[in-house]
Structure 1
Amino acid sequence: MQVTIIIAAITTASALSGIMGYFLVRAKLQGELSISKKREEELARRAYETAILKEIGDRIGYSLDANKIVEIISGSLGKLLPYSTVSHMIFDKKHDKILFSININDSVSHNFIADVKRKMINAVSEMLQNQVLESDIDVSVSGNVLNDENKEPVRSFFNLPIFISGKLIGIINVSSTTANLYNDENTEVLYRIARLASDAVSKLQEVLENEKSRLSQAVASLSDGLLMVDKKFQLVLVNKKLTALLGTIANPTLFDIANSLSGKFDLRTKMEEAFANDAPLPALEITVNDKTLQVVTTKVVDKKLQKPQGVIVLFHDTTSAKALEKLRADFTSMMVHELRAPLTSIKSTTELLEQEISKLGSQQIINYLKTIDSTSNTMLELVNDLLDVAKMEGGKFDVVLDVGDISAIIAERAESFVPQAKAKNLKLTVDISKNLPKAYFDKVRIKQVLNNLISNAIKYTQHGEITVRAVAENINGDPCDILVSVKDAGIGISEAEGEKLFSRFGQLERGKLATNVKSSGLGLFITRGIVDASGGRIWLKSEGENMGSTFYFTVLLAENIKKGRDKTNLAPSRFSTTKVAHG
């Protein structure tokens, strides 16, 4: 009975450890995915901002004044934000009056309008440091009919001031009967547009061309690909990002762009559909040049004249987001496999012990317990790998550096892998230079590095020799560090594969097929983190597929540390780790 309780405790602890590690990294991936999805949600606001910037730039040429800025911004709010009323106050210096105009979207009451006007007066008075009198205001009301039976008050609002040359010339107010409707995120684009527009007018007529150029550059430098055509479907602008995404020439024609999208996106048809519809077309997903692009097509309308001016097509690169989504799915699948197999083994062994314990001898029980212990250690190693990755990315990964004999550790680690090598009929050779100098390293973590590199060499080599070598690396005859290498005769690594091998879950697809062994793919990522954090370097060389590989890493010399090298800041690290120096 006591053995059964012990077994149950071991089983529960192992399962909890595995599950905790899985959810830790899964939460990390989901956080990254939520960021990616948030970026995609900004597409509509980006298209809106582009259209307004374009309209402001075009209308600079014919005496754009404060009234027109307010009209352009307030007249375009409907597609960006929900609201009950949108209002603006403009100072009419000629008649010494303030013009208050309010457009009603929902049927609100006179009290609602009075409250909006009062909030705007208070805001203007505070910014001017001078009390504005209600008698100085001319009121204009448009839009929906008023309904005094509607007692809904103002529950959400924000004010958008318009400054020209540092002076307040007007203010826009957006109000709603819905609470907590507006925040920094969904109003940021309006403040940004207001600043751009104010700057444009402040520069006056003599800098109109420069201002138009600046606004055009703002469009051209967007992180998304963008093109715009006029109402005759003549190309007005195309930014550099789009030419890069589609692989066209530097200054493409509309035909060049349509040709690059042939068979994937009917550009002309979509632009005609957008021109005929008031709302933006649903976003489409296409694949061009191995890139996944989300395409939004929307009509550009002159808000004052209510006439269409053209069409904007926005291309948002979602390749990274898609890759991250696939990585999450692959990781989930891998973790299910990695955790299910040992958990199943533990469960089966435990059930067997429960059912047959009275019939088993002491040695048989011990053997079964060893099986459970071994399987639990496998799960624990996976959990520790997951925790190490989380620490590295969180800047909380520690290395404890001290002076020691790295020769002995290399020899000991290599010796421990001899049985595995013999099981595959592989020759494992150790070549350590005589009188190798003392090194400065983390005595626990360096074993982790060697374990990862030697086990990978055995895993991906089907026949031949594996060599572990350590020599003193010299510059101008003086030793600078210790160079350790692990050479195999395995599947080799191409240049493209090598670029991602040290990344998270960077296991080669060929490696999975060649060995038929599933792995977390975290080993080399952790190895690089340890070496970097210890002040060393790590890299690989390979002649290509099926030509074997050699992994190199360096370890600091203790002699150089004694000569005054800073122990607490040994080298730039890829991770924000903590280094604890001893000795």
Structure 2
Amino acid sequence: MSTAPPIPPAPAPDVLQILVDAIAKKAGAGAALFETDIFAEGSFSLLYATADFPRAATALAQRLKDIPFSPNQPVPINEQTGIPSLKSGLIIPLSAESTLRGALVVANQRGSINDSAFYAEAASDLALLSMALENRFLHQLRNFKNGVAQTVLKIAGSKEALSTAQEVVEVLRNSFSPQISGCAILRYGPIDEARPDAPREYLEIRGAWTQKRGSGGGIGIRLGIESYHKRLELLEKRKYYVFQEINEQVLQIFDPLVRGLLRDAHVRSMVIIPLQAAGKSLGLLILAADHPYHFNTFEVFSYRMIGEYLALTALATRMMRQRDSMQLVRRAMLSAVSDGILLMQPGAQGGQVISSSIAFNHLFGLSEVDIRGKSLYEVLSRMTLPEDVRASLTQQWIYMPVRSSDIRQGEFRAVNSGGQPLEILWTSTPVYQSDQVKSRVYAFHDVTADRASARMRAEFLSRISHELRTPLTSIQGFAEFILEVGGHDLAPRVHEYTQIILSSAKHLKAIISDIIDLTRLDAGQIQLAREANSLPNTIREVVISMEPLYRMRGQRVTLMLQDQLPLVNIDRTRIKQVLSNLISNAVKYAPENSEIQIQAQYVAQMDDLPEGFPPNIMLPAILITVADEGGGITAEDAGRVFMPFFRTEQARRERTEGVGLGLTVVRSLIEAHQGSVWLIPCPPAAGGYFIFTLPVARDLEAP
């Protein structure tokens, strides 16, 4: 989920498979790796099993939850496991900081396993496997939290009033994964403001969207609920219900009207989320797929969280109409969000606090008395912050008007009330009413776990890459030596094969370098060596160095660099890496004997930017365009090309060299320079247009 419900966990990464295979080899047996479900406590799911692992033993996923694991205490396989096909083996708990993350089952159908010898030989691999599972857990948890928080903040920070369910559906539809083909919000009726607890008689479609019919289909249709009372009560207790596959037999559960609506929308899978808040049932949120689809744990939980937020929003609207306590409504809404939230209204010294969330108070050691009615300056003085951080935030926040339309963000380090270090990402967003900014929301997202995950991943990949680079360096060195010493004396086939070995070794080293760069950037471990530089000179140097590459394909590079461009504060080596990646990408995908254009120009106004520029772009800036005459790219793919390991259908079909990491590295490096990068979608054969900006420091700005 970009700003979508969390991305479903990927299949077991190759590194997990490598470790499991290595451990199985040392044990002389088959092995299977199970991970705990992040939300279903005690549940296990199979991640990977070696080819020689007994097939019937996969049923262990159901039996593992009944085993009383102790840290670092393997459980021997015996008759009590209930798997007759296993003769002997071990179930090894995999823990991180005393928390069970999974289990490795090492077993066979023949002889026994020498426990002591196996443990001595496999100890380091088991430790790495536990670390890899913990990293996977933190990554999944981060995706889940980010997906929910981004979607909720997208709704809360929208310029539209979102006064109707259909407007909410329009915002949500852009946040769903591609698998979702329909969404509907239904409200219980009749709604009687004078009798809020009146009996429910029907469900009315208030907002709807399907890929087949578009937006608004079926709005106003009322569905009788007389025959569904028991099912609805069960749904409200369970908090959700999933129909993994809707066939004709399942359709018979519903009345003819509902059956007709489901058939018309081609619904084959569906999840139903009750909208409940403060003990009140307000309606249903329904998400559907037009093919049999497995809604996994992460998706269901993210949809539940979004449903809870929508329910709270709907309840707040109803309570305001009834002129109940506005403060109670705000507190209820803020309590549903796990991030720290501070809501401000115009006033002196940065504005006056309207309300704060429990999470905000907990993060910074405050109470409701410390917050309500105080100015932002007073709140800052009470927050548990290092003095240099407090001074920096004061400078950024106090002089920004509450009614400013700007969206600001940043991060800082602090220590919570328990003395634990925190890394906080903050965002300041205007709140609109009737197209006017009425207040401002400060959101504080605790990224401590995210950064810990990134650092752990960087450390882990650093170890793995070291082990891979050493033999690759030897292979490359020997291949170069053979070619240099043998020269023309080598048989043609030997010379060809040695060249292939050398090329493959260089390719693998480049992939490893990209992975390490991405991981270190994500973990904040790459320090930019910034200094004032002339961007045109840097561009010319890169183009000259890459001349053999594009001339080999008969291509030419045309430079269109604006005169007297201001200097930019950049890490010259890293920006050369960005330019090299973009130019090599153009060379790779553009046809032979074609032209590649590189433009650089100064941009000071939003009106001077080309189409599709991202929000929060920093100006003034130098804008660089790398254009080629390749096959173009669709709008759908344009939004995904910067994702790790993404490759277009054309690249996969034509088997173009690469694994899909170069553009991800480009984005990370540009964003580390506070710049922006994007791609303009083009029809087939219309070429590719990659654009990025590098901000110009005010003291280096052109006159």
Q: TM-score, structure 1 length as denominator?
A: 0.40
Q: Which has the higher contact order (CA 8 A, sep 6+)?
A: 1
TM-score under structure 2 length normalisation: 0.34
